Chain A
Amino acid sequence: DQQVKQNSPSLSVQEGRISILNCDYTNSMFDYFLWYKKYPAEGPTFLISISSIKDKNEDGRFTVFLNKSAKHLSLHIVPSQPGDSAVYFCAASAGNQFYFGTGTSLTVIP
């Protein structure tokens, strides 16, 4: 049972434009959410997080939005850069264990 879903397997964006990656979850007990970035042949690395007490968290070009009523979070990257091309995973937890989405492969076209 996939508790965290990323319905878009891939996304292509022009350099300089906004990239929006989406994630949906089913467990209303989830109270902490993360985005990870993964390059080929490397492990995922932490990108940005948000607690359920917030609806937005910003870190430079990266902003995560949380809509608890819709059980939906999104990652905005502005402006997108070619180095942002990677697979992005969202993850959610209600304790110590995180549940991961299936990933979205982002390609930023120069």
Chain B
Amino acid sequence: EAGVTQSPTHLIKTRGQQATLRCSPISGHTSVYWYQQALGLGLQFLLWYDEGEERNRGNFPPRFSGRQFPNYSSELNVNALELEDSALYLCASSWPWDRADYGYTFGSGTRLTVV
């Protein structure tokens, strides 16, 4: 069974540009979560999608947005990039409304560097 896959692995952007990060959940998982791990910080919750809808949003500005497609894959968009957006962005997936004993399954992340 394929795990959660994220692309690209690394992304370098210039301040002010837009970044698009992609995530494919485990087959059968309909919930997708996005987290930001900035240097020296923990996992900051960004967004939760389920069945194509945004279920919850963390304390991030509106330039962080995303969507979930009919096949449950998801995209995270970051507009007007700032230097402090440089971080590891992690995607996780889970079963819908049914908490698994092991919580979420995470992908390996996309390392975004803003220069």
Residues of A within 8 A of B (CB): 6, 9, 32, 34, 36, 41-46, 49, 89, 91, 93, 95-103
Contact = CB atoms under 8 A, between A and B. Distances in A.
Contact of B97 (A46, A91, A96, A98): A96
B87 to A, nearest CB: 13
B106 A101 contact: no
A34 B103 contact: yes
Given A43-B4, A44-B106, A93 B41 contact: no
B19 to A, nearest CB: 18
Contacts of B41: 102
B45 A43 contact: no
B42 A96 contact: no
Nearest to B92: A43
B94 interface: yes
A46 B108 contact: no
A98 B41 CA distance: 17
Contact of B106 (A6, A9, A43, A95): A43
Interface of B: 4, 31, 33, 35, 40-43, 45, 48, 56, 90, 92, 94, 96-99, 101-109, 111
Contacts of A32: 99
Contacts of B111: 41
A15 B104 CA distance: 30
Contacts of A46: 102-103, 105
21 contacts: A36-B103, A41-B109, A43-B90, A43-B107, A44-B90, A44-B106, A46-B105, A89-B42, A89-B43, A91-B103, A93-B99, A96-B94, A96-B99, A97-B45, A97-B48, A97-B56, A100-B42, A100-B43, A100-B45, A102-B42, A103-B43
A98 B35 CA distance: 11
B42 A98 contact: no
Contacts of B43: 44, 89, 100, 103
A62 B105 CA distance: 20
Given A41-B108, A99-B45, A49 B102 contact: yes
